[in-house]
């Protein structure tokens, strides 16, 4: 079949394209241009650069497949950058990678792919899709290597999107992916993985937000749980629940961010044990298959690479859920995603 591969210039998406080609599919490589490459003051970080686009083109040349760069600046700004800034302005901690997957790669890019006569969109995600013939539905499963699994970021995908999703490297370990790339003489076989957000350099998210919303740089108070004034800060967007370093205050015991009150511009801090909670609610929940009708037991993961924990999950009205963990979880942060699993299968997820 004809498949469009989202080529980022990294080793995972490059190997995804190579595997599909080797399997006999007609492969078209597409790289997304997410910002104006001529703008040196854009604030963008270490991914999706001119060099990355060149790497994707070099891989396409080795594989002898067509490669196109598509301008996605407007949808990226609308669906990723603006919500990112808005969330921090509200004292929440966003995950833009989730929106990028559901609203760009498997929505906007999928539309482009269908326009090219393709039947699927492939990415280098460490995840798997399995078609359940008995129920005629698609299941999303974890990637085979636990430390690299990225199914957490894919929980908003619908059945229609999963029908067209292809994850060629989800059954491979990272070492096997690099070995395959070297065997196929791909020029990115030893290229380091990106560890940060694609549009913000490490430690620079506050300045990026201020550049896009300058009025957020407003001072506020750092207070204890009983309201005692401990210090001042330069903007609530500089904090996230669970943060310890960079508070700008001195204390005989380590203090952590417990809560961010954006309207009052207050950051509440306290001891580590105060971070532990057993209960949360989540909204805008997406169920990969059918929505459960009553409380059920599953594991729930509150952050990427945070261990999934046993919990009782109760579906509520208006696409919400109530979650009660068997053991307290540390630093449950508003704005993060909570994803539900049955073993290796993703059941769904929502926003804390």
Indicate which residues carry an active-site annotation. Answer: 100, 198
Burial classification of residue 219, based on how many CB atoms lie within 10 Å of its CB (0-12 exposed, 13-18 middle, 19 or more buried)? exposed
Burial classification of residue 31, based on how many CB atoms lie within 10 Å of its CB (0-12 exposed, 13-18 middle, 19 or more buried)? buried
Q: Is 339 helix (H, G, I), strand (E, B) or coil?
A: strand
Q: Which residues contact 43 (CB under 8 A, 6 or more apart)?
A: 199, 200, 204, 207, 208, 211, 212
Q: Do 210 and 239 contact (CB within 8 A), yes or no?
A: no
In the block, tokens 């894919």 appear at 154
Q: What distance in Å separates the CA atoms of residue 185 and residue 163, rounded to the nearest whole number? A: 31
Count CB neighbours of 310 within 10 A: 11
Q: By C-alpha distance, which of 102, 101, 99 is closest to 83?
A: 99
Give the phi and the psi of residue 138 in degrees, each rounded to 5.
-105, 135
Count CB neighbours of 237 within 10 A: 25
Q: Is 154 helix (H, G, I), strand (E, B) or coil?
A: helix
Q: By C-alpha distance, which of 100, 114, 84, 111 is closest to 47?
A: 100
Count CB neighbours of 57 within 10 A: 17
Q: Do 110 and 157 contact (CB within 8 A), yes or no?
A: no
């Amino acid at each position: 079949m004809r498949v469009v591969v989202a080529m980022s210039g990294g080793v995972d998406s490059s190997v995804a394209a190579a595997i599909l080609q080797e399997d006999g599919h007609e492969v078209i490589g597409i790289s997304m241009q997410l910002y104006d490459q001529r703008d040196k003051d854009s604030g963008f970080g270490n991914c999706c650069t001119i060099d990355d686009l060149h790497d994707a083109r070099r891989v396409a040349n080795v594989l002898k497949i067509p490669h196109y760069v598509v301008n996605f600046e407007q949808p990226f700004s609308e669906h990723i950058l603006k919500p990112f800034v808005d969330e921090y302005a509200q004292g929440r901690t966003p995950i833009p990678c989730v929106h990028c997957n559901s609203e760009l790669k498997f929505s906007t890019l999928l539309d482009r792919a269908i326009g090219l006569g393709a039947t699927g969109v492939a990415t280098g995600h460490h995840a798997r899709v399995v078609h359940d013939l008995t129920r005629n539905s698609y299941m999303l499963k974890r990637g085979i290597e636990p430390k690299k699994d990225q199914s957490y970021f894919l929980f908003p995908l619908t059945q229609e999107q999963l029908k067209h999703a292809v994850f060629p490297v989800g059954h491979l370990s990272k070492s096997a992916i690099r070995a395959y790339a070297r065997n196929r003489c791909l020029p990115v076989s030893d290229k380091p993985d990106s560890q940060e957000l694609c549009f913000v350099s490490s430690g620079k998210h506050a300045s990026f937000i201020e550049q896009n919303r300058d009025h957020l740089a407003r001072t506020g108070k750092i207070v204890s749980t009983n309201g005692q004034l401990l210090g001042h800060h330069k903007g609530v967007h500089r904090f996230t629940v669970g943060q310890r370093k960079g508070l700008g205050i001195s204390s005989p015991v380590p203090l952590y961010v417990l809560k961010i009150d954006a309207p009052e511009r207050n950051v509440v801090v306290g001891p580590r044990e105060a971070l532990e909670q057993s209960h949360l609610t989540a909204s805008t929940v997406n169920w990969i298959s059918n929505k459960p009708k009553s409380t059920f037991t599953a594991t729930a993961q509150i952050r990427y690479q945070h261990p999934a924990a046993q919990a009782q999950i109760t579906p509520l009205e208006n696409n919400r859920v109530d979650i009660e963990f068997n053991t307290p979880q540390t630093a449950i942060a508003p704005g993060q995603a909570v994803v539900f699993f049955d073993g290796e299968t993703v059941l769904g997820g929502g926003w804390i």
